[in-house]
Chains A and B, each alone.
Chain A
Amino acid sequence: MRAKTADKIATSIIIAVAALIVLVLAGLLGYILYRGLGHISFHFLTSAPETIRKGGGIGPQLFNSVFLLVLTMLITVPIGLGAGIYMSEYAPANRITNFIRLIVEVLSSVPSIIVGLFGLLVLVNLFGFGFSLFSGALALTVFNLPLMVRITEQGLKGVPREQKEASLALGLSKWKTITSVMLPISLPVVLTGTILAAGRVFGEAAALLFTAGMSSPRLDFTDWNPFSPFSPLNPFRPAETLAVHIWKINSEGLAPDAAEIAAGASAVLVITVLLFNFGARWLGRYMYRKFTAIK
């Protein structure tokens, strides 16, 4: 009788906690969307911000965020995949490997503002990359790489041992086994993880304040020469991202509609990150079905 009562109490507490989490999340998202959605328009998404007048947009910031994301992923994905493959398939099980694993864990828990300051001191000043997309991408790499390594390692570790053995037993090399048998099986996991990491990068502000900078040059969207200082594609120009922009106009915005712009930009940011999350889930499930499907 007592055990049954305890069971009932535990069940109701767990349900209450779960409901609380859902409520907090729904409230948060609902509030951000309620405040921001009304402000989003095509004009808002595409035009440049205004400093002191009404009616500025977030076009360059949105572009910067996407471009920075692409740059970061171009750096992170190959290094992360390589390191993950090494950790899972090549690293011997010894102290050094465990030490590397520990370092990766520590790296992933470094606060992003510290990563930003490190970027300022080392990338911006010491290496002279200046406030630029490139500095920002490298700083985000520091903070994204551990995740990427862990995702790849876990993805490969999740491949059934018989699959790996079957390939090796046919006389295939280790590398061919990894690339042609193991990576395709772990692809849904790796891809889902990568997209989730991308969502985190997209929303990151603190690590970018002192690396990608808090301003954007007047971008000329007709100039696609990556070496021109006003070209959107130039990786060595400063670039204020959406998340940084939200922080900036909230703390020092002079435009009379700064609050609305911040609300609108927040809604755009939240929607994008949600899209990343749902996209990742959908793609992961789609690929899992594709690889194991009946047809």
Chain B
Amino acid sequence: MESIGLSAKDLTVAYGDRPAVKNISLDFAAKQVTALIGPSGCGKSTFLRSLNRMNDLIPNCTVTGEIWIRDQNINSPTTDVVSLRQKIGMVWQRPNPFHKSIYENIAFGPRYHGVKKKSELDQIVEQSLRKAALWEETKDRLHNSALALSGGQQQRLCIARSIAVKPDIILMDEPASALDPVSTSKIEELIAELKEDYCIIIVTHNMHQAARVSEKTAFFLTGSVVEYDLTHNIFTNPQKPETSDYITGRFG
């Protein structure tokens, strides 16, 4: 039996009166990649953003239901959101490195969480960059601006930044859709390696990508999950006609 990294129960997200995500219950396995696919506006990104309470920042957005990590319901008002977010990393569609040096981008989080010694920070920076397959390209210019990196490098830096604070779960919101094919395949290789250690939930528009990187896939349509199964089953033998229509490209 695989262990559960994160599980959502009856999660509903609404902007004002308009629900974007309705009563979704999903379990995400630890050390696996789960892909969320579906047409634009189906609520998959909204769902993803509520898993680390990022939707708290959006006025009028209400999230009801439960999100369990181990024995803690993180969607309860008593949860310490700030320390929770350390456990859940996030990667955005457009690379968003801080306007700081490469080194500072990585060291920023750990230093805030109490790592003060330079030698330890150096080690975290190197390990994180190695894990994100970026060390060789950046080791000679760690103190240059991160904004000078290419888009694909910036995205790997953002992944390195999020693993530097030692999360259990990494949320990725279309992490490769703004990148060229070469960078995309590098990100995909990286995801395949990272799943040894993390529970990864990835939103993607690219069905081939979902098929390549994920173990399980959830198909979203108009705010609900239509089908959730092993990726292999979803793509070869979908049970619902909507799923089959979507993956064969009949709509979306």
Contacts and interface: CB of A to CB of B under 8 A. Distances in A.
A275 interface: no
Interface in A77-108: 92-93
Contact of B85 (A170, A181, A294): A170
Contacts of B118: none
B99 A176 contact: no
A185 B54 CA distance: 21
A19 interface: no
B54 to A, nearest CB: 6
Interface stretch (B37-45, B107-115, B119-127): B107-115
B110 to A, nearest CB: 9
Interface stretch (A51-59, A160-168, A222-230, A237-245): A160-168
Contact of A294 (B86, B145, B165): B145
Interface string A150-176: 000000000011111111111111101
A25 B147 CA distance: 40
B98 interface: yes
A61 B148 CA distance: 48
A110 B30 CA distance: 62
Contacts of B109: 170-172
Nearest to A293: B145
B216 to A, nearest CB: 23
A171 B148 contact: no
Interface in B232-248: none
B89 interface: yes
Interface string A274-295: 0000000000000000011111
B195 interface: no
A171 B96 contact: no
B94 interface: yes
A166 B89 CA distance: 9
A169 B98 CA distance: 13
A30 to B, nearest CB: 41
Interface in A251-295: 291-295
B54 A165 contact: yes
Nearest to A164: B57
A181 B109 CA distance: 11
A162 B174 CA distance: 14
B112 A176 contact: yes
B13 to A, nearest CB: 16
Nearest to A168: B85
Contacts of A292: 99, 145, 147
Given A162-B94, A169-B90, A180-B108, A295 B85 contact: no
A184 interface: yes
A166 B96 contact: yes
A160 B113 CA distance: 24
A172 to B, nearest CB: 5
Interface string B80-97: 001111111110101010
Given A160-B96, A162-B92, A165-B92, A172 B112 contact: yes
A293 B86 CA distance: 29
A128 B99 CA distance: 48
Contacts of B83: 171
Residue in B54, B82, B99 with the greatest tally of chain A CB atoms within 10 Å: B99
Contacts of A167: 98, 108
B98 A295 contact: no
Contacts of B57: 161, 164-165, 168
28 contacts: A92-B59, A160-B96, A161-B57, A163-B98, A165-B54, A165-B57, A166-B90, A166-B92, A166-B158, A168-B85, A169-B85, A169-B88, A169-B162, A170-B109, A170-B165, A171-B109, A171-B112, A171-B113, A171-B165, A172-B109, A172-B112, A180-B108, A184-B99, A293-B145, A293-B147, A293-B148, A294-B145, A294-B147
Interface of A: 92-93, 160-174, 176, 180-181, 184-185, 291-295
Given A169-B88, A295-B148, 10 more contacts: A162-B96, A165-B90, A166-B92, A167-B108, A169-B90, A170-B89, A171-B113, A172-B109, A291-B99, A295-B144
For the complex of A and B, list the 8 residue pairs with the smallest distance between their C-beta atoms, beginning with the closest.
A171-B86, A162-B96, A170-B109, A169-B90, A171-B85, A291-B99, A294-B148, A166-B96
